[in-house]
Structure 1
């Protein structure tokens, strides 16, 4: 009798465990609350994090595109000077690659803004200097630096061009990295990553060439 009772209990336990084994996993715990800054003189509060729409452009995405267009346009101004200022074929090749890459990226950025109903910067916004020193955009050459570049030729031009373009590219990397940290729209993120990948390689090529001059 005792053996039969024990067997019955074991069977019952097995059935119960079998039933519970098919249960759905527990819902994951909700994410940690988000700190919401308070108004001046008020304490910060907390709230539940909302979903991020990766297809919806945010303010940082629009700002990146709007500022990167004139940034790229200035690089185009600089590369356009190269054929008439130097006989260095290696520098001409580097400048040519930069020019083609920046033209393509500017076209994509303009399309991105236009498709979302955002203002598109014109060629005169910063592509030719525009009378501003562009202190808000990292790496951009000042009017005085552009004037020096236009006045130079030969080896002096080559050195100054590389110095200015390396700094210009480093500024673009800073802007693209900021976009990756603050932006949300997936296409804008992809374009920023392409800038980082392409211009990082160009910086290394220009540094190598600058070291030989």
Structure 2
């Protein structure tokens, strides 16, 4: 090779070398500057993404208690039954219990001397008559019979004996007023205890509200009736 040829090929050789080195450098560059979708990476996982937890649920408290917020999944998986055996027992017992109160109250218009006693009896009939219908409907919608075979209703709290009921029916005037107030007070006290007990162990929300109403209203009526005896 002549000196002139060497002067021509040296720049060409240098240019080729630069092009080769540049290509190698480009091949080894980090791909971070490319869009994320274009970057190579591990194969996408075939496992479905974990679903988030269920939204929180506001759970009503028992009557008189505040509501509480619980995890939705736990509430769904651990939901209490709609009613339990104690709800059913309370309803079945409260029907004849109310019926006796209605029987006593029905005697007042023709026998009571004090108009306030007649007013108490009127309130009892107005409240407990529809409540008996509500209790029967509660059982009917659940295909449950109202009768309890072999149970002596006279043993329930507050229930008055057959002899006491005969004495009340035979009384008139002030004697009726005094006997009615004493018997109905004891009868209401029994209903309050039964209802308060259900609030501790029942599961049905409707019966919780019913029992709470009975306990509150009949407790207030006991106070009114006791005031009649002191005047």
Q: Normalising by the residue count of structure 1, what TM-score does the alignment of the two structures yield? A: 0.68
Structure 1: unaligned runs, 5 residues or longer: 1-23, 25-49, 126-131
Asked if 1:98 corresponds to 2:118, the answer is: no
Deviating runs (4+, > 2 A) in structure 1? Answer: none
Aligned to 1:62: 88
CA RMSD of aligned residues (A): 1.9
Find the aligned partners of 2:185 and 2:169 in 1 and give their Cα distance: 17
Asked if 1:167 corresponds to 2:186, the answer is: yes
Aligned to 1:197: 216
Aligned to 2:78: 51
Higher relative contact order (CA 8 A, sep 6+): 1
Q: Deviations over 1:28-56 (max 9, x none)?
A: xxxxxxxxxxxxxxxxxxxxxx83425x1
Quick one: which of 124, 138, 144 aligns to 1:112?
Answer: 138
Higher CA-based Rg: 2
Asked if structure 2 preserves the Cα contact closer than 8 Å seen for 1:133 and 1:143, the reply is: no
Asked if structure 2 preserves the Cα contact closer than 8 Å seen for 1:133 and 1:142, the reply is: no
Q: Normalising by the residue count of structure 2, what TM-score does the alignment of the two structures yield? A: 0.63
Q: Deviations over 1:148-194 (max 9, x none)?
A: 11111111110000000000000000100111111111111110001
TM-superposed CA distance for 1:133, in Å, is 6.6
Asked if 1:134 corresponds to 2:160, the answer is: no
SS at match of 2:154: coil
Quick one: which of 73, 85, 90 aligns to 2:99?
Answer: 73
Give the aligned length.
154
Find the aligned partners of 1:181 and 1:108 in 2 and give their Cα distance: 21
Q: Deviations over 1:96-131 (max 9, x none)?
A: 001111112111111111111111249xx9xxxxxx
Aligned to 1:208: 227
Asked if structure 1 preserves the Cα contact closer than 8 Å seen for 2:198 and 2:208, the reply is: yes
SS at match of 1:118: coil
SS at match of 1:158: helix
